[in-house]
Structure 1
Amino acid sequence: MLHEKTIDHLLTIHEIYHEPNVLEFPRGREILAKYPDAKLIEVPSHNQIPELFGFEGSVEDWLWNKKNVLILGTKKALSARPNTRSSHWVAPSQSNGCTMSCSYCYVPRRKGYANPITTFVNIEQIMGYLTRHAGRQGKKLLPDAIDPEYWVYEIGENGDCSADAAICDNVKDLIALYTTLPNAKLTFATKFVNREMLNYNPQRKTRIRFSLMPHTMSKLVDVRTTPISDRIAVMNEFYEAGYEVNVSFAPVIYYDGWLEDWRRLFTEMNEVLSEGVKRQLATEIIFLTHNEALHNVNLLWHPKGEEVLWRPDIQQVKYSQTGQRNVRYKNNLKGELVNELVNLCTELIPYCVIRYAF
């Protein structure tokens, strides 16, 4: 029996910050009509809201903001950034921010710590750009580790599309768009089960990647997400609904007994997943990178999680391109850990292709 978090547990919108022109767009009018009782607060820009963005002092209101606040704006700069891992391109965002509160998440460190969902209402412009971009790529002639046939576009880099889909039809519209593009498909990773998405018609042109980690660790650091067993249990249904179903082992966190916990997770996958899912399953393996500023904020609201995320004894400093002080497992240790997990995958879930592991 599933014990999924419903979107009503995650979102009860009481306040909507919005740019002045959102009513000019059909999607903006739809969303405002959906939440008629919400307090409307006009702001000059979706990323200039001092009381929400970059304000570590709001940590006591963190979860309230994530559950009760929505931001509406327009995506100004439309560009697809080249990628070389789970996709060929990162699409211009249809949203950013998230209603969930995973304590390791990199998005808050870039866009402010109290970071609820921002939905972009100019979805027609975003879709028009993506149609033209895919058209310029032409037919994909050579198979690669990302996909044997299609150019793949990541649409969920800065949020969780399954939660976004409960607010409006941006994700549904994008899924429908890619069924019409002969040379492209879309992808996103998710930690939330949104069963409404089973009613879409993706025609194998959407690759949904369910993020997985051992149960005990997920309960500690995957705050406000769907339980791991529920994510695994629904994968067969998403495959039958026409999705390409993959998984994402990320972030991988090292702790005493970690490998045995992964063994139990893989055993559960073996028992639950259908043969159809197994035949097309692939994953990426990404070990934890943490951030000093995020660590300091987490100490104020979720210090227990930092006991496993912040491990100076086994981590080394890695400065980001923006100069932030990040930490990751020391090179020699990390090499051993990667090999151990890859070997366990090969032993227990040999049908699951590993696109990359680092």
Structure 2
Amino acid sequence: MVSIKQPMSNLDLFPPAPPSSEPGPLDRLLKVSRLYVETGVEEHLRGREILARFPDAERIPVASHQGIPGLFGNEGNAEAWNRIKGSTLVLGVKKTMSFTPNGRSCDFIPPSAANGCVMSCAYCYVPRHKGFANPVTVFVNIDRILASIRRHARRLGPKTEPNSVDPRYWAYDIGCNSDCAADAALSDNVRDLVRLFTTLPNAMGTFATKWVNRELLTYAPKGKTRIRFSLMPAAKAKLLDVRTSPIAERLAAIDDFVAAGYEVHLNFSPVVVYEGWQEEYDALFQQVDAAMGPAAKAQLAAEVIFLTHHAGLHEVNLRWHPKAESLLWTPDTQEAKVSQGGGHNVRYRTGLKGRLVAEFQELMARRLPYCRVRYAF
């Protein structure tokens, strides 16, 4: 009898890491006691792996990972914001494999392997779409997501014209709707994505993060994944970047991630304007300079994004974190804005914002003259 060798999947190429008895990097933030499990999750290896990690969690079958009754769109959940984030995980099956052109942080936003977050940054836009609770949803059909990226990159062919995203590779933002460093503590999805890009000659991955997960140092990205560490003055991060890694810890990780084979950029986002912001950012730039060695400085670039806020999120925040809104909601300096995605938001007023962006870049150039700004707005 002639045996036929079946083609290897990505999960065959990159087998799951063995379970560890050591405390996980998210144990302080997430103790899963409730799992919402979409129909079909257990048919996927990744779904079974994640379920096995939380054997004692209550399992609630749901028809869809979207619009879960009593979880999403429930206004009463505003006061339970962090409790829900710290106890709830949703497992879903990604249905739509769409790619959105971007041109700023990336060339394309691919199908997401997760959305939502265990962290609670007060300005996060994802809750605007998910309702009054924003726990992590992990998509378990990672093979299909990987295959869709591979096909998309193959159709694009080589990147023949450099752009502000990257001069050589088509860049895919794999963490547009979540924080990949945190996601990596929940499943091997991020590891599979990082390793996928090492096999694609014309493409790279990228994601911004506010969490230092040193497990990622073992992923061997071979220069094909760009991590953008998000930074703001530490005093304001304590107020706005709720449940994230301290700024000093993010800065201390930069050299290690460069040494591990990542390209590391900085993500100054969001830049929030308040009395004394110039002095605090000037001090931050000096801290950045002192934290990095020559290798990190030689490859450094940054993106600068001033705050965009939203009236609905403002109302939610008033119910669980009103102190943050004293910085984020400043009607005297803000105006209505329709975003690229069609959302109705608020931003700093036209004219004022242009002056603020210019002032920020002047401050940064003085302290970090070697850091190229890929875009600022």
TM-score (norm 1): 0.97
Aligned to 2:186: 167
**Is the aligned partner of 1:28 residue 2:30?**
no
**Is the aligned partner of 1:193 residue 2:219?**
no
Q: % of aligned pairs identical?
A: 55
Count of paired positions: 354
Retained in 1: the 8 A contact 2:67–2:73? Answer: no
Match of 2:279 among 243, 253, 260: 260
**Is the aligned partner of 1:182 residue 2:187?**
no
TM-score (norm 2): 0.92
User: Quick one: which amino acid aligns to residue 153 of structure 2?
Assistant: A
Match of 2:334 among 292, 315, 324: 315
**Is the aligned partner of 1:220 residue 2:239?**
yes
CA RMSD of aligned residues (A): 1.2
Return the offset for 1:111: 1.6
**Is the aligned partner of 1:47 residue 2:62?**
no
**Is the aligned partner of 1:153 residue 2:166?**
no
Closer, same or farther: CA 198–47 of 1 in aligned 2, 3 Å: same
Q: Deviations over 1:116-169 (max 9, x none)?
A: 000000000000111111000101112111111100000101010001000000
Cα distance between partner residues in 2 of 1:321 and 1:130: 23
Closer, same or farther: CA 115–321 of 1 in aligned 2, 3 Å: same
**Is the aligned partner of 1:211 residue 2:230?**
yes
Retained in 1: the 8 A contact 2:234–2:247? Answer: yes
| Secondary structure, counterpart of 2:332 in structure 1 | coil
Return the offset for 1:173: 0.3
Aligned to 2:302: 283
Aligned to 2:374: 355
Cα distance between partner residues in 1 of 2:175 and 2:58: 27
The range that moved more, 245-254 or 312-321, is 312-321
Closer, same or farther: CA 86–323 of 1 in aligned 2, 3 Å: closer
Closer, same or farther: CA 163–310 of 1 in aligned 2, 3 Å: same
User: Quick one: which amino acid aligns to residue 146 of structure 2?
Assistant: M
User: Quick one: which amino acid aligns to residue 350 of structure 2?
Assistant: N
Cα distance between partner residues in 1 of 2:25 and 2:64: 30
1:59-208 counterparts in 2 under 5 A?
59-208=78-227
User: Quick one: which amino acid aligns to residue 310 of structure 2?
Assistant: N
User: Quick one: which amino acid aligns to residue 163 of structure 2?
Assistant: D
Retained in 1: the 8 A contact 2:25–2:185? Answer: no
**Is the aligned partner of 1:13 residue 2:11?**
no
Retained in 1: the 8 A contact 2:118–2:136? Answer: yes
Return the offset for 1:80: 1.2
Aligned to 2:6: none
Q: Which runs of 5+ in 1 are unaligned?
A: none
Retained in 1: the 8 A contact 2:204–2:225? Answer: yes
**Is the aligned partner of 1:248 residue 2:262?**
no
**Is the aligned partner of 1:298 residue 2:317?**
yes
User: Quick one: which amino acid aligns to residue 170 of structure 2?
Assistant: W
| Secondary structure, counterpart of 1:355 in structure 2 | strand
The range that moved more, 249-258 or 50-59, is 50-59
The range that moved more, 47-56 or 89-98, is 47-56
Return the offset for 1:298: 0.5
Question: Which consecutive segments of 4 or more residues in structure 1 shift more than 3 A?
Answer: 319-325
Cα distance between partner residues in 1 of 2:291 and 2:161: 34
Return the offset for 1:321: 6.7
Aligned to 1:231: 250
The range that moved more, 239-248 or 6-15, is 6-15
Retained in 1: the 8 A contact 2:128–2:313? Answer: yes
User: Quick one: which amino acid aligns to residue 192 of structure 2?
Assistant: D
User: Quick one: which amino acid aligns to residue 276 of structure 1?
Assistant: A
Aligned to 2:364: 345
Return the offset for 1:60: 2.1
Return the offset for 1:324: 5.1
User: Quick one: which amino acid aligns to residue 208 of structure 2?
Assistant: A
